[in-house]
Amino acid sequence: MYLAVEGTVSVPDNIVNAMHRGLEIVGGAATPVILSDDFVSTVQRLSTSTQSYAAERGTGMVAAKTITDHEPTTIVVNFKAIHDRQAQDIERLLAHEGCHSLIDGKGESISPKQFYDNYDTGLAMLCTSASIALEEFRIERHLAELGYPVAERAAVDQIDDQILELVGEVVWASMNPASADVLTYAKAVIEAMHSLSVTLGYLAGPIIAGTHIFDPTQFSEFGHAHWMSMVQRGWDMRQVAYRQVPAIQSPYAPELIFNHVDLAVSANRQFLRDLGFAIDGGAPGADWSFHRIVSNAVVDAQFKSVLAEAERRSK
């Protein structure tokens, strides 16, 4: 393993060994790793596309990022996020990032730029979101097959929290005066959806690998009700798409990738509809529109139920 350390970091041997094992197991030992105590600035220095990069994501801190627009592709690990983690978590983290590097090395990673060059904004956002989640699925299925446990972010209680967060963010987007600007409104809603969509990619991995059984009745009453009304239909469609995706060790032809991204985009459109929104149009060169398809009364009711649930959980 090619490990560089940035900042005033002293790295215990067990962390180095765990990182090495993770990369090795997915055949990624040739990917350079930088362990940094100033994660954001290391990421920004290496990557040309992440100038406004932030390491906070909803509930936690990003632990690592694979920079594919740097030559060579490099994994940056956030020392602050991993220093107190168990060795097996660190191993898993590096195995995951090593897979990103592997997929990129095979020319099978999808750059959002491809979409923004080809599509208008609404569809580009949906395509980007769908393609990111699809790659996460491909990786997590591989990790499940290697015997790693379900990712933390796809654990039942974590998803339950993310559902509340999603509904809260969507309600807030509808109430925020800044949403008078449609692009601002669309971005807020799609970003909120994207975050759970990526988690669903993580969750689908071990389910489709056959190593994990997922039961939405394990959610809180709020989580279960919202899963059924907002997530389930898109989730079913998403799995149909994912089941067609070749294993990480197999080649993945560009036409096939786009075909599957298209299917996953349809799943995301359904997800969006069930959240109360529609994106129409968005074909190359055509106009697109984003609009809410539920009434103010529905948003009001959602607002009250989010408040009540947040209150209940804070006790």
Question: Cβ 136 to Zn ion, closest distance in Å?
Answer: 5
Question: Cβ 140 to Zn ion, closest distance in Å?
Answer: 8
- Please, which residue, 108 or 309, has the CB nearer to Zn ion? 108
- Please, which residue, 108 or 136, has the CB nearer to Zn ion? 136
Q: Strand 33-36 vs strand 64-67: parallel, antiparallel, or unpaired?
A: unpaired
Question: Cβ 99 to Zn ion, closest distance in Å?
Answer: 8
CA 157 to chain CA centroid, Å, is 17
Task: Report CA dihedral (173, 174, 178, 179) to the nearest 10 degrees.
Answer: 100
Closest alpha carbon to 139 in 89, 88, 99: 99
CB < 8 Å & 24+ apart, contacts of 148-157: 148/92, 148/95, 149/92, 150/202, 150/203, 150/206, 150/212, 151/92, 151/96, 151/202, 151/205, 152/89, 153/199, 153/202, 154/199, 154/202, 154/203, 154/205, 154/206, 156/214, 156/215, 156/218, 156/219
Question: Cβ 145 to Zn ion, closest distance in Å?
Answer: 16
Binding span for Zn ion by CB under 5 A among 46-54, 131-139, 160-168, 277-285: 131-139
Residue nearest to Zn ion (CB): 136
- Please, which residue, 104 or 136, has the CB nearer to Zn ion? 136
Closest alpha carbon to 165 in 141, 204, 191: 191
- Please, which residue, 7 or 58, has the CB nearer to Zn ion? 58
Cβ-based burial of 266 (10 A; exposed 0-12, middle 13-18, buried ≥19)? middle
Question: Cβ 230 to Zn ion, closest distance in Å?
Answer: 24
- Please, which residue, 136 or 274, has the CB nearer to Zn ion? 136
Binding span for Zn ion by CB under 5 A among 72-80, 117-125, 135-143, 256-264: 135-143
Binding span for Zn ion by CB under 5 A among 8-16, 29-37, 134-142, 226-234: 134-142
Contact, 182 vs 290, CB < 8 A? yes
Binding span for Zn ion by CB under 5 A among 52-60, 132-140, 215-223, 268-276: 132-140
- Please, which residue, 153 or 260, has the CB nearer to Zn ion? 153
- Please, which residue, 89 or 136, has the CB nearer to Zn ion? 136
| Total chain residues near Zn ion (CB under 5 A) | 1
Residue 247's CB is within 10 A of a number of other CB atoms, namely 12
Question: Cβ 152 to Zn ion, closest distance in Å?
Answer: 13
- Please, which residue, 139 or 188, has the CB nearer to Zn ion? 139
Question: Cβ 276 to Zn ion, closest distance in Å?
Answer: 28
Quote the CA–CA distance of 173 and 184 in Å, as a whole number: 9
Binding span for Zn ion by CB under 5 A among 33-41, 130-138, 182-190, 236-244: 130-138
Where do we find the tokens 């990712």? Answer: 151
Binding span for Zn ion by CB under 5 A among 136-144, 233-241, 245-253, 301-309: 136-144
Chain contacts with Zn ion (rule: CB under 5 A): 136
